[in-house]
């Protein structure tokens, strides 16, 4: 039996092994990507909390020192500690 015949006889086993290896590599890649996304998410959480508080402050801000200031820049300035 020559090499070509041996390969043909084991074709299914060879392709099954390659498929299994591909699945293992894909799974490891997905696990690594999921961990990285979770890490990024944890780092972005403080920014999300700050942004929510800024939006709430801006929505509730209508007057600064009794003066009607409806402009967004004035509201942002007030919410970040600006003013007298």
Q: Which residues contact 35 (CB under 8 A, 6 or more apart)?
A: none
Do residues 24 and 41 touch, judged by C-beta distance below 8 A? no
Residue with tokens 């006889």: 9
At 78 the pLDDT is 79
At 39 the pLDDT is 93
Bigger pLDDT: 65 vs 8: 8
> Using alpha carbons only, what angle is made at residue 35 by residues 42 and 19, rounded to the nearest 5 degrees?
160
Q: What is the pLDDT of residues 48-77, one digit of tens each?
A: 999 999 888 888 877 666 666 567 787 888
6-10, 30-34, 57-61, 79-83: segment of lowest average pLDDT: 79-83
4-8, 15-19, 66-70: segment of lowest average pLDDT: 66-70
- For 61, the 3-state DSSP assignment is coil
Share the mean pLDDT of the chain.
Answer: 85
């Amino acid at each position: 039996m020559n090499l070509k015949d041996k390969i043909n006889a084991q074709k299914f086993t060879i392709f099954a092994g390659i498929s299994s290896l591909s699945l293992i590599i894909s799974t490891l890649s997905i696990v690594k990507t999921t961990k990285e996304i979770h890490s990024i998410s944890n780092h972005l959480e403080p920014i999300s909390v700050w942004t929510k508080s800024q939006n709430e402050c801006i929505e509730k801000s209508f007057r600064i020192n009794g003066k009607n200031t409806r402009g967004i820049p004035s509201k942002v300035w007030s919410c970040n500690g600006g003013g007298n």
